[in-house]
């Protein structure tokens, strides 16, 4: 018999650790109409990656009305779906080199994450997406040869991964950082060892820094182009 696939732990698993209300939220997120929307967002992203621009755009055009039809779900769920929608849109605009619109979509995705956490605190693991948004901002700046802006974004993310800068701030001014996530989840129900490995980016500053520096090295590696480091 073939070996069983290892279990997969994503943000939904860690959200569900927060208790019964969070587990019910995840259960609702898996209901067929929501799951179909999430699947189509993933399919649109795959189409963008294969440079099938028209089918991706057509699929994404259906998303806003489908989200409107989900008004009975928790508002935070609409924010989470919006985070994914705007993230996929940002990648699409990046593919066609519409960098201004890509940047705006990244800002909308970040705002959606903030809105979700403000409503339901147990969605804290999603805050880690904020540092990824700023890495994408750095990539957009690089592609436009905006070196100073690129370095500013890199410095900002370095502060985030080292816990010196918040991942985001809520409307009441409360900072959300990796230390916030760590404090929130460390006392929770013990999780399996392989799940702990999946959680390491939330909890392990050294690992985050190593992955971040790898990204920065790749960001500066453009054949035939000299990027000023200062």
Distances (CA, A) of 103 to 3, 106, 107: 43, 5, 6
Closest CA to 150 of 134, 169, 132: 134
Is the Cβ–Cβ distance between 216 and 229 less than 8 Å? no
Top pLDDT among 227 and 154 is at 154
pLDDT of 189 reads 63
Report whether 153 contacts 138 (CB < 8 A).
Answer: yes
Q: What is the pLDDT of residue 103?
A: 97
What is the reported pLDDT for 51? Answer: 94
Q: Would you say residue 8 has pLDDT above 60?
A: no
Can you tell me whether residue 62 is helix, strand or coil?
coil
Distance, in Å, from the CA atom of 32 to the CA atom of 26, rounded to the nearest integer, reads: 12
Contacts for 203 with CB less than 8 Å, ≥ 6 apart: 178, 181, 182, 185, 186
Tell me what the mean pLDDT of segment 69-90 comes to. 94
Percent share of the chain, pLDDT over 70 = 90
pLDDT at 135 over 90: yes
Mean pLDDT of 57-83: 93
Determine the distance from the C-alpha atom of residue 169 to the mean position of all C-alpha atoms in its chain, rounded to a whole number: 16
Rounded distance, CA 18 to CA 9, Å?
15
CB 191, CB 17: distance < 8 Å: yes
DSSP 3: P
The predicted model gives 58-74 an average pLDDT of 92
Give yes or no for residue 4 having a pLDDT over 60: no
Instruction: Give the number of C-alpha atoms closer than 13 A to the C-alpha of residue 217, restricted to the C-beta side.
Output: 6
Average pLDDT value for residue range 12-16 = 86
Does residue 6 carry a pLDDT above 50? no
Extract the tokens encoding 62: 């259906």
Span 164-218, pLDDT tens digits = 999 999 999 999 999 998 877 665 667 777 777 777 777 788 888 998 999 898 8
Q: Report pLDDT for 221.
A: 78
Mean pLDDT estimate for the chain: 87
- What is the pLDDT at residue 225? 45
Measured between alpha carbons, how far is 90 from 226 in angstroms, rounded to an integer?
26
pLDDT at 228 over 60: no
**Furthest CA-CA distance within the chain:** 56
pLDDT mean over 95-104: 96
pLDDT reported for residue 193: 75
Please determine, for residue 91, whether its predicted confidence score (pLDDT) is greater than 80.
yes
The closest alpha carbon to 227, from 133, 148, 136, belongs to: 148
Going from N- to C-terminal start, the domains of the chain cover: 11-220
The predicted pLDDT at position 227 comes to 46
Query: Which is nearest to 68 in space by CA: 82, 56, 83?
Result: 82
- What pTM did the predictor assign? 0.88
**Alpha-carbon distances, residue 81 vs 88, 109, 124, 153 (angstroms):** 11, 9, 15, 25
Query: Quick one: pLDDT band at residue 220, thresholds 50, 70, 90?
Result: confident
């Amino acid at each position: 018999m073939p070996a069983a696939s290892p279990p997969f732990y994503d943000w939904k698993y860690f959200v569900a650790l927060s208790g019964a209300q969070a587990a019910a939220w995840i259960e609702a997120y898996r209901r067929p109409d929501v799951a179909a929307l999430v699947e189509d967002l993933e399919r649109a992203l795959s189409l963008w990656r294969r440079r099938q621009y028209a089918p991706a755009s057509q699929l994404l055009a259906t998303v806003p009305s489908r989200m409107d039809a989900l008004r009975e779900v928790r508002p935070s769920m609409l924010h989470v779906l919006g985070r994914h929608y705007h993230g996929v849109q940002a990648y699409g605009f990046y593919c066609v080199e519409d960098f201004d619109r890509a940047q705006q979509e990244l800002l909308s995705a970040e705002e959606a994450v903030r809105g979700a956490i403000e409503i339901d605190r147990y969605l804290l693991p999603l805050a880690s997406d904020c540092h990824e948004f700023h890495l994408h901002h750095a990539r957009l700046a690089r592609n436009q040869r905006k070196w100073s802006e690129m370095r500013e974004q890199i410095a900002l993310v370095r502060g985030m991964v080292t816990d010196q800068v918040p991942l985001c701030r809520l409307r009441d001014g409360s900072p959300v950082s990796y230390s916030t996530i760590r404090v929130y989840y460390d006392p929770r129900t013990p999780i399996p060892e392989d799940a702990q490995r999946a959680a390491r980016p939330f909890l392990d500053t050294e690992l985050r820094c190593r992955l971040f520096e790898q990204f920065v090295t790749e960001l500066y590696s453009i054949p035939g182009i000299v990027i000023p480091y200062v």
